[in-house]
Amino acid sequence: MKRALLLAALVLGLTGLTAPAFAHNTFVGSSPGNGATVGSSPKQVSVTFGEPVQQGENRISVLGPDGHSQWQAQRLATVDGDSVRVPLRELGPAGRYTIAYRVISADGHPVSGTATFTLSAPGHGTPAAPEQAGQSDTGGGVPVWVWAVGVVVLLAVAIGLALRLTRPVRK
Amino acid sequence: MRALPFVVLAFVVTLTAALVGVVTAPSAVPGIPNSPAAVGVGISVLRGVFYLAALVLLGVHLLPALRAAKAGTQPIAACAALILGASALGQLVLQSADFRPERPVTLASIGEYVALVDAGKAQVFLFALAVALAVLAVLDARRGGGIAPTLPLLLSGATVLVLPLVGHAIDQPDWRGRLGIVAMELHVLGALVWTGGLLAVLFSARDPAAVVLDRFSTVAGICLALVAVTGVCFGLLQLDAVPGIPWYIALFRNDYGLLLCAKLVCALALSGIGTAMRYRVLPGVLSGARGGFARLAVVELAVMGLAIGFAVVLTRTPLQQ
Ligand code: HEM
Ligand SMILES: [Cu+2]
């Protein structure tokens, strides 16, 4: 009983100390609006969420009607409270463009999805050069599985040591 | 075999986490870097391993409360603490891989992740708690059981309270934010004390005494009520916060809602098992008949394993699809 009370006190203490934590973010809307039609190339694209977006690797790509040409003018999106935005190149062919986003919610979870808009009159722009494939894979880091092996080896050594140390002392 | 109940639980938790994780993996979005589905599934499975280790720790440190001897359990506690620590490190690596899908994981990228995101700090804190628990277990063994059980019990309880603080809980400035966190803390604590307690009862003796079963049955009833109320409240608060779709529709439309329903079914099954335990098995044990308890208890553990397996996926599932 005493322990239960102590634990309960601990819970309330911990929760009282921290500010409310963070939700998984939810898509609220985009600009141009999801499904909207625009007559000329917008200067930027933004996506709005239900809660603040974490600074970090937030992405918005705008894909052309062909489904793979990219039209955003900046690699990372700029965070602005609840929304993120990227400047846009001048758009090209008329048709349906896809806004693809992946942002980090305040709880650290990535949230991704798509919205679309239609360009009714063609512009004069050209898409961005495709990102150099594979270029980012060699930043001197190691693949995730090497980390996994490292953690497992560390664990095995630690367990071996612990089993030795906890062996009953013989008198 | 004394380890059998735990083996069943571990099997169910990891398998459920992996399978449900694969089924609910978000589809890749075109035109931007996505992390491989294996990263998300790995995070869920490691979170399952984390809870399994925490359950063992809670169970071992609850043994004195059951008047069972804790002699010889220190190696178990030490290994569980180390596994808990490793699962925290593993989650940290995978979470930072998920944070920047197109970059390799380096010490620097992990550091940056920890600096930016509270969920990263939480894993570092858990690793420190795990090391402390392992050291306590070793000290206890070296001194022949000289460490009072309260400290390791409190630390084990603290490990399970960390993740809800940085999880899905709502950040609304009003009452809902606070309520969400308190509900989640109570939910996780209730679920793990219940499951860990059952493990401890099964571990403590071949045929646990009737008084122990009687007391445990009461605790289990309270935990079930607590877990069900807090789980339903929190889940509905989450679904209610999704813009543009009423919660009662979201409940059946997206993975989050469906997983909530699955957990509710688990809770119903558990209440059925608990009732059978209390009104069928317990009177038998009280009147001197043996057996029946262990078998039903292992079934109960398996259902709890399902609920925990669903939980570790639920906690990463987007509210919107
Ligand atoms: C009425 C039944 C239940 C409902 C509605 C329910 C609902 C929930 C919800 C909404 C969450 C939070 C997920 C999030 O972060 O968004 C959660 C987490 C959790 N639940 Fe349940 N639950 C139920 C029963 C159970 C049972 C029976 C157990 C285990 C015996 C359990 C163990 C857990 C655990 C361990 C977590 C923490 C997951 C994490 O954040 O790592 N739940 N549950
Ligand atoms: Cu989330």
**CATH number of the domain enclosing A107:** 2.60.40.1220
Is the whole model's pTM more than 0.80, yes or no? yes
Assess if residue A82 is contained within a domain.
Answer: yes
Q: Over the stretch A18-76, which tens digit does the pLDDT of each residue have?
A: 444 445 788 889 989 999 999 999 999 999 988 888 888 889 999 999 988 999 998 88
Does residue A64 belong to any structural domain of this protein? yes
For the stretch B136-182, pLDDT in tens is 999 988 887 777 888 999 999 999 999 888 876 645 556 667 788 88
> B112 alpha carbon to ligand 2 midpoint, in Å?
19
The torsion angle over the Cα atoms of residues B57, B89, B8 and B297, rounded to 10 degrees, is: 30
Two tokens at B78? 């030490």
In a domain, A1, yes or no: no
Which residues in chain B touch residue A138, judged by CB atoms under 8 angstroms apart?
A: 104
Residue A7 identity (one-letter amino acid): L
DSSP 8-class letter at B291: -
Does the Cβ of B293 fall within 6 Å of ligand 1? no
Q: Is residue A104 part of a domain?
A: yes
Among the residue ranges A88-102, B187-201, B232-246, the one predicted with the least confidence is: B232-246
**How long a stretch of residues is chain B?**
321
Q: For residue A134, is it within any domain?
A: yes
Q: Is A167 inside a domain boundary?
A: no
Protein residue closest via CA to atom 41 of ligand 1: B312
Is the CB–ligand 1 distance for residue B191 below 6 Å? yes
Cβ–Cβ contact B255 with A under 8 A: no
- In a 13 Å sphere around the CA of A127, the CA atoms on its Cβ side amount to 17
Instruction: Please tell me if residue B2 touches chain A, with a CB cutoff of 8 Å.
Output: no
Q: Which ligand is closest to the CA of B227, given by its number?
A: 1
**Contact between chains at B86 and A70 (C-beta distance less than 8 A):** no
| Beta strand A27-31 pairing with A36-38 | unpaired
- Nearest C-alpha of chain A: how many angstroms from B109? 9
Domain residues for the domain of A68 are 24-142
Task: Find the closest chain B residue to A62 by CA distance.
Answer: B31
Task: Give the residue extent of every domain in chain B.
Answer: 4-314
* Residue A83 covered by a domain: yes
pLDDT at A12: 55
B227 Cβ below 6 A of ligand 1 = yes
Please tell me the total count of domains within chain A: 1
For B306, list phi and psi in degrees, rounded to 5.
-60, -50
Three-state SS at A36? strand
CA A5–ligand 2 middle distance (angstroms):
31
Ligand 1 touching residue B155 (CB < 6 A): no
B24 secondary structure, DSSP code: T
A159 touches chain B (CB under 8 A): yes
What pLDDT is attached to residue A21? 40
Residue A109 falls inside a structural domain: yes
